[in-house]
Structure 1
Amino acid sequence: MLGFSLFVLASATTIQLSANIAEIAGALPATPDLTSLMVSPAVTDRDGLLLRPFTTPDGRWRLPVSRDAVDPRFIDMLLAYEDHSFAEHNGIVWTSMLRAAGQFIAAGGHVVSGGSTLTMQVARLIEGEPTRNAWGKLRQMVHAHQLEADLDKNAILDLYLTLAPYGGNIEGIRAASLAYFGKEPSRLTTAQAALLVALPQSPESRRPDRFPDAARAGRDKVLDRLVSTGTLTGEEALAAKREAVPTARREFPMLAAHLAEQAVNARPGVRTIALTIDKRLQDALERLAAARARLIDPRVSVAMVAADIDSGEILASVGSAGLFDTSSDGFVDMTDAIRSPGSTLKPLIYGLAFELGLAHPQSLIEDRPTAFGGYVPVNFDGFSRGTVTIHDALTQSLNIPAVVVLDAVGPARLVSRLRRAHADPRLPVDTAPSLAVGLGGVGITLRDLVSVYAAIAHGGAAVTLHDGSAPVPPATASAPVLDPVSAWYVADILADVPPPLNGSPGRIAYKTGTSYGYRDAWAIGFDGSTVIGVWAGRPDGAPVPGLSGITGAAPILFEAFDRLGSRRAPLPRAPQGTLFASTTDLPAPLRRFRHPDGDMVARDAAPEIAFPGDGIAVDLARGDGAFSPLVVKVRNGVPPFTYFANGAPFDRPSFARQDSWAPDGPGYVTLSVVDAEGRGDSVRVLLN
């Protein structure tokens, strides 16, 4: 108590103490621990690696950390420099306080050296008040004594590691190590550890990003002291002094930015949230998305989702090509955006036909223009292939056979199976599912599509995708999306889809899709363990001319699988009950796909003029006395076609289903078409 009395006596010349020790203790803040301390929320990957931290509500980077996650060499250097008797004292080292009191008196009432222990520094950091006066020092001493009574030494050290200031809004060794060295503090060089010991003494004047010379001087001072105490050898210190001091702050990790923000918003107050994300894969796919988007168009974004087929764990979720990229609206999470899926639902359509016994992959089907009331689907390239196998219809992504099959299995059944796969298809309000659903006439998200393909890859059983941000619902028995044999048929066909230029055939089973107007490009694929979905397009929904699934998204998909590394696995073998047969060897009912309503889809329907309609008026006058050409479009029938105007052919026989005729002037004209089998159709229209 002698040192304490001397300190109080020395202080009495400038400050009148009006409270006793009990009054000071009663006014102290409650002793905190790491579970109650306000820290930055941190989102980590499946192995505990940091994906994205967030600031505290007051804008500080203060990340949760404990001594076990810090390089032991740093701990040794910190204690040797700051408080070599930390393990023995009760918060106050009286010899140091006597020295400080003598310096205080000699300096005429100014604090020269504080004599503070680590515990006293923790007390000051908790209170957030300066202690460059006697009253503050007295309060700090009482508080330190209280902390030693309430906490063990390890807890006090953890508080220091979390609260120590490192310049600006950086607090704690973990935030400092990330900000200045770009790495966690678990492994530090001698020079890095010495700098982190020195900075809290003068966090603003030694900030390496602003005052690198002062930072170097402070670091070297620590190194010299540690040599004098025997903590370091002279050679170690000399080598450390040669190491450069960082001159700028690094960006904090920003991986899985959209998903991390959603997780933090969904679980407010949680200090650390562990996601199922694989940091290595996430980083690789984010770099891939950014690079590919730049090559396509500055306004284009790219999104990706990768998931484990067996567990449903999301391994990577890339919401955009760059969170801060304003030209492509990078803030929008396109993994969760509702878009048109184009042709990506066709595999499920054919899977339903297999399951219902309507078809086999080698069943023949007609690819001929067919009308379904007012709905007349056409292939992407405008050409028909005639008779093809269902295998080829899917690998070539032909539209007409897919709609024919969908009409047979039913759009409502397709939507129902999508929901079994935990997808949430969005239909226009107050409308029932229609045939247009099969070619993209429905809204769906990338994450939902990945869920659908995960089910196909999982033998038809639904897979619950989850990212760790919320508890996974308990597994319950649910109806399958497809039966195992039908799912394998689909996967086997998709493995034969021709790859893009940067891919090799048979590596993965995949399907592409392009929505109407080139607004969305899709590629979804899987191997034996992982399913990956890719979307490319403009978040604002504007068209990107020429952007398609095969040219835009598929190359990204194949590069994404290249980055899986050891996760790659071969596609599964065929399940029991699989029928391997050529078309001619199939049972008679399966050799050719037949619509349950045999009259619904006529195999050899006569040609019809789809445009212009009979009896309509067409305005072709250009204003200069001339007339624009009139386009004539034909559906059904067997090519080649011969087109007539007022009985005279206006072109040679053509396999194209449209042609144009240049009129001489206004008036009525009779347009006719005759197919290869001599069947025809005519309309009469008025030209203005």
Structure 2
Amino acid sequence: MSTALYGIFGKLIRKASAHRMMTAGAVLAVLFAGSAVFCASCIDELDYSVLEKRSRVLYASDGSVIGYSLSEDTDSYRFYTTADEVSPLYLKMLIANEDRNFYGHHGVDFPALLRALKGNLSNGRVTSGGSTLAMQVVKRLAGHEEKRTYLNKLREIVQAVYITGKFGREKVLEWYLTLAPYGGNTEGVKAASLRWFGHLPNRMTPSEAALLTALPRAPEHIRPDRHPQAAAYYINEVLRSSREKGVFGDDVWKSSAADELPKELRGIGQSARTLAVRLFSTTGLREIYTHIDPKIQQVLHDEAAGFHEKHNDGAVLSVVVLDASTHEITGILGSSDLSVSEVCLPYSPRSPGSALKPFAYGLAFEEGKLHPQTVLHDKSKLFGSWRPENFDRRFNGRVTASRALASSLNLPAIEVLGLIGSGYFVNSVNRFGNILHVGSKVPDYSVILGSADITLVNLAKLYAMLNEDGMLNDYSLYIGEKLHEPARFMSADSARAVFDILKSTGRPATAPNAADVSYKTGTSSRFTDALSVGSLENHTVAVAIRFPDNVTGLYQYSGFRDAAPVLFSILGKLPSRPMNRPDIDSALLSGTSPDALTEIADDSRITDRNGLHIDFPQNGDTVLPDAFGRIFINHSGGEGRILLSHDGVQTEEMFFTPEAEGFYTVSIMDESGHSDSVTFRVVLDN
């Protein structure tokens, strides 16, 4: 636009020059056209992208900052700030000292400009700019804040009048509070208050307000961490001026003299390190307001710090806290160490280990195929020649369903899954969304041991469903987020039966008296994920210790030994409210099983001992890959299509390519449900 106007202005000048004498009207026309061109070029200079590319900020329920990103253009802390988010005292001091007639002029205080011009001329140099808040804003928008020339001052006058007339002085004030420079990569009063004082700008002492009033004048020269004497001088000057202008009285002036200067940057919300950019991708907003409780969040940060002090092997801690009374996510720890992972892990699908077992039991209860006192079988070779083992590699023989679930026994869980079918189990979990990620795989018995993936947030919601007697609720993180309608996942008595059984799960040694906690643990097959999920009163907490890159360290984390103590520690620190569950009259909650469900004896229905067998390798073998790095699995028997499962991947090809030396478990299954599994050691020939 300005280029075209300059062209028109040039034509007028050339046309006027062709005449020896110009009329007064022609002179005025030329001057008007020139002014229009200059004004248009000034307006065209304004770049509002500095506002659009500001930081993204996550806020807790009390308005504190719990997550942020740097600005997209200059990697600055630039948080949008409105007038009602800052201290009234600061606003009074700012207006009194930086733009006394802010509410009376239209962007430019011409008397102040004339006084500044007179002073500059008498001193022979630029000592005062006479800038208003609007003129300081346009310096940031136009990018010439470092060039103190009279031409730039003229540009700022035009631009300040324009933005005040177009957007209004209240918007101009917001832009100043957002864009003013405070040293380094800190912009805006909110970021400055958080970095210098460690708190939001809605409360400030007079000295704090004076420092933030003065800093934009010379951000690098007044920084109290680098130039404490200069900072003290300017603070006193602003306080003295504010007293003289009636912002406060002598009592405030005297009390402020004892205030100490901040000696170093406090940092912007240390909690922000635990919430990564992943949370921002669910919304296009720059300011995101959440239900996160800062007190709960602080508990999670303390746990993260404690975990990081003990472990520095590439494993990270992540946590989700749900409140069943409000259906809100009130705490979330994305990653305890952003140097290892900047992904918000609670939203990443991962193996739950055996943490899905309670839901298979609950669905079997609901289908009338199982009772908590039904006898199951924990013994070797129960399912043909497939030899899945328990975590402790021991077998318990005949056990009740209640004990099998509380002890997290693998073979009885497979037996229970056989009662309802792995396909039915997966479809039941996914009735209300793609909660359990099986991909293109055909669900098999390994699903109950962790071959399918689920996010920690969704796993927490499933456990909260048990806490709410079978009602599956959505949980909101963001204020105003639209939730799915509650849905019944399983019958109330089935959910209550599972919930009560999980109260008898073994307690960690550090929490022997937490008898009311209903919880379960899970450990992935290669020790890349250790989980513990449980409920106490209105809170459901899910804890995961994970190796984000799936490369484990020397120490092998387990759900019970490592994740459960963190779970109990967190639950013990949360303020809880009773759930007030009603009494339920059901045979599932009695101590005696119906005659028909005394014992599951018909295991031939899901087992054929001669159906499918892995001939090579055998359990305990040491195997070398072939020239192409592959290990082939030879088998006999089976009906129809046969699938091979390895580390969560399912294929019809009877080979896999190991990435590293170590022990591997491989399973195969045919279309009739026959299966077999072996564990062997792989040695790579380097």
Tell me the secondary structure at the aligned position of residue 220 of structure 2.
coil
Aligned partners of 2:530 and 2:546 also within 8 Å: yes
Tell me the secondary structure at the aligned position of residue 544 of structure 2.
strand
Taking the aligned partners of 1:173 and 1:26, their CA distance within structure 2 comes to 31
Aligned partners of 2:356 and 2:448 also within 8 Å: yes
Report whether the alignment pairs 1:158 with 2:174. Answer: yes
- Aligned pair count? 584
- Structure 1 position 186, deviation (Å): 0.4
Taking the aligned partners of 1:33 and 1:153, their CA distance within structure 2 comes to 16
What amino acid is aligned across from residue 489 of structure 1 in structure 2?
A
Identity %: 32
Return closer, same or farther for 1:331/1:261 CA change in 2, 3 Å cut-off.
closer
Return closer, same or farther for 1:123/1:443 CA change in 2, 3 Å cut-off.
closer
Q: Which has the larger radius of gyration?
A: 1
Give 2:383's aligned residue: 372
Tell me the secondary structure at the aligned position of residue 507 of structure 1.
coil
Counterpart pick for 1:587 among 581, 587, 594: 594
Aligned partners of 1:21 and 1:142 also within 8 Å: no
Give 2:502's aligned residue: 494
Report whether the alignment pairs 1:242 with 2:258. Answer: yes
Taking the aligned partners of 1:197 and 1:581, their CA distance within structure 2 comes to 70
Give 2:445's aligned residue: 435
Taking the aligned partners of 1:22 and 1:416, their CA distance within structure 2 comes to 69
Counterpart pick for 1:416 among 399, 416, 427: 427
Counterpart pick for 1:103 among 114, 119, 127: 119
Aligned positions of 1:78-97 closer than 5 A: 78-97=94-113
Tell me the secondary structure at the aligned position of residue 280 of structure 2.
helix
Give 1:294's aligned residue: 309
What amino acid is aligned across from residue 253 of structure 1 in structure 2?
G
What amino acid is aligned across from residue 211 of structure 1 in structure 2?
H
Give 2:674's aligned residue: none
Report whether the alignment pairs 1:521 with 2:527. Answer: no
Residues 283-304 of structure 1, C-alpha deviation per residue, up to 9 Å, x if partnerless?
Answer: 3213213312432554322111
Taking the aligned partners of 2:620 and 2:490, their CA distance within structure 1 comes to 49
Counterpart pick for 1:75 among 84, 91, 96: 91
Give 1:149's aligned residue: 165
- Structure 1 position 488, deviation (Å): 0.9
Aligned positions of 1:109-508 closer than 5 A: 110-130=125-145, 132-253=148-269, 255=271, 260-268=276-284, 270-296=285-311, 298-309=313-324, 312-324=327-339, 329-420=340-431, 422=433, 424-427=435-438, 431-468=441-478, 472=482, 474-475=484-485, 480-503=488-511, 504-508=513-517
Aligned partners of 2:186 and 2:192 also within 8 Å: yes
Residues 301-347 of structure 1, C-alpha deviation per residue, up to 9 Å, x if partnerless?
Answer: 211112233664322222222213xxxx2334432444332221221
Return closer, same or farther for 1:234/1:619 CA change in 2, 3 Å cut-off.
closer
Taking the aligned partners of 1:322 and 1:547, their CA distance within structure 2 comes to 17
What amino acid is aligned across from residue 483 of structure 1 in structure 2?
S
Greater fraction of residues in helix: 2
Taking the aligned partners of 1:449 and 1:619, their CA distance within structure 2 comes to 36
Tell me the secondary structure at the aligned position of residue 307 of structure 2.
helix
Taking the aligned partners of 1:296 and 1:98, their CA distance within structure 2 comes to 65
Aligned positions of 1:556-571 closer than 5 A: 556-565=566-575, 567-570=576-579
Residues 516-573 of structure 1, C-alpha deviation per residue, up to 9 Å, x if partnerless?
Answer: 34333211111342221111142333265453221101111111112321x4435734
Return closer, same or farther for 1:218/1:509 CA change in 2, 3 Å cut-off.
same
Return closer, same or farther for 1:391/1:293 CA change in 2, 3 Å cut-off.
farther
Taking the aligned partners of 2:257 and 2:71, their CA distance within structure 1 comes to 34
Taking the aligned partners of 2:580 and 2:410, their CA distance within structure 1 comes to 27
Return closer, same or farther for 1:256/1:363 CA change in 2, 3 Å cut-off.
farther
Taking the aligned partners of 1:188 and 1:62, their CA distance within structure 2 comes to 19
Residues 79-101 of structure 1, C-alpha deviation per residue, up to 9 Å, x if partnerless?
Answer: 22223333333444444333333
Counterpart pick for 1:42 among 52, 57, 66: 57
Return closer, same or farther for 1:444/1:161 CA change in 2, 3 Å cut-off.
closer
Aligned partners of 2:476 and 2:483 also within 8 Å: no
What amino acid is aligned across from residue 599 of structure 2 in structure 1?
F
Return closer, same or farther for 1:355/1:145 CA change in 2, 3 Å cut-off.
closer
Bigger shift: 315-324 or 96-105? 96-105
Tell me the secondary structure at the aligned position of residue 238 of structure 2.
helix
Tell me the secondary structure at the aligned position of residue 287 of structure 1.
helix
What amino acid is aligned across from residue 561 of structure 2 in structure 1?
T
Aligned partners of 2:296 and 2:574 also within 8 Å: yes
Tell me the secondary structure at the aligned position of residue 266 of structure 2.
coil
Return closer, same or farther for 1:289/1:568 CA change in 2, 3 Å cut-off.
farther
Aligned positions of 1:645-660 closer than 5 A: none
Taking the aligned partners of 1:356 and 1:366, their CA distance within structure 2 comes to 20
- Structure 1 position 128, deviation (Å): 3.0
Give 1:28's aligned residue: 42
Return closer, same or farther for 1:281/1:580 CA change in 2, 3 Å cut-off.
closer
- Structure 1 position 185, deviation (Å): 0.6
Taking the aligned partners of 2:117 and 2:524, their CA distance within structure 1 comes to 79
What amino acid is aligned across from residue 266 of structure 2 in structure 1?
R
Aligned-residue Cα RMSD (Å) equals: 3.5
What amino acid is aligned across from residue 282 of structure 1 in structure 2?
Q
- Structure 1 position 20, deviation (Å): 5.6
Give 2:563's aligned residue: 553
Taking the aligned partners of 2:565 and 2:167, their CA distance within structure 1 comes to 58
Return closer, same or farther for 1:408/1:201 CA change in 2, 3 Å cut-off.
same
Give 1:634's aligned residue: none
What amino acid is aligned across from residue 464 of structure 1 in structure 2?
D
TM-score of the superposed pair, with normalisation by structure 1: 0.76
Aligned partners of 2:277 and 2:342 also within 8 Å: no
Taking the aligned partners of 2:454 and 2:386, their CA distance within structure 1 comes to 22
Aligned partners of 2:296 and 2:331 also within 8 Å: yes
Return closer, same or farther for 1:221/1:85 CA change in 2, 3 Å cut-off.
same
- Structure 1 position 201, deviation (Å): 1.5
Taking the aligned partners of 1:312 and 1:382, their CA distance within structure 2 comes to 39
Tell me the secondary structure at the aligned position of residue 222 of structure 2.
coil
Aligned partners of 1:426 and 1:444 also within 8 Å: yes
Tell me the secondary structure at the aligned position of residue 498 of structure 2.
helix
Give 1:664's aligned residue: none
Taking the aligned partners of 1:619 and 1:362, their CA distance within structure 2 comes to 39
Taking the aligned partners of 1:42 and 1:431, their CA distance within structure 2 comes to 39
Taking the aligned partners of 1:618 and 1:101, their CA distance within structure 2 comes to 90
Aligned partners of 1:33 and 1:159 also within 8 Å: no
Aligned partners of 1:163 and 1:171 also within 8 Å: yes
What amino acid is aligned across from residue 523 of structure 1 in structure 2?
S
Give 1:651's aligned residue: none
Return closer, same or farther for 1:522/1:93 CA change in 2, 3 Å cut-off.
closer
Q: Which runs of 5+ in 1 are unaligned?
A: 1-16, 621-688
What amino acid is aligned across from residue 139 of structure 2 in structure 1?
R
Bigger shift: 69-78 or 593-602? 593-602
- Structure 1 position 490, deviation (Å): 0.3
Return closer, same or farther for 1:43/1:582 CA change in 2, 3 Å cut-off.
closer
Aligned partners of 2:318 and 2:336 also within 8 Å: yes
Aligned partners of 1:308 and 1:531 also within 8 Å: yes
TM-score of the superposed pair, with normalisation by structure 2: 0.76
Q: Which runs of 5+ in 2 are unaligned?
A: 1-30, 623-686
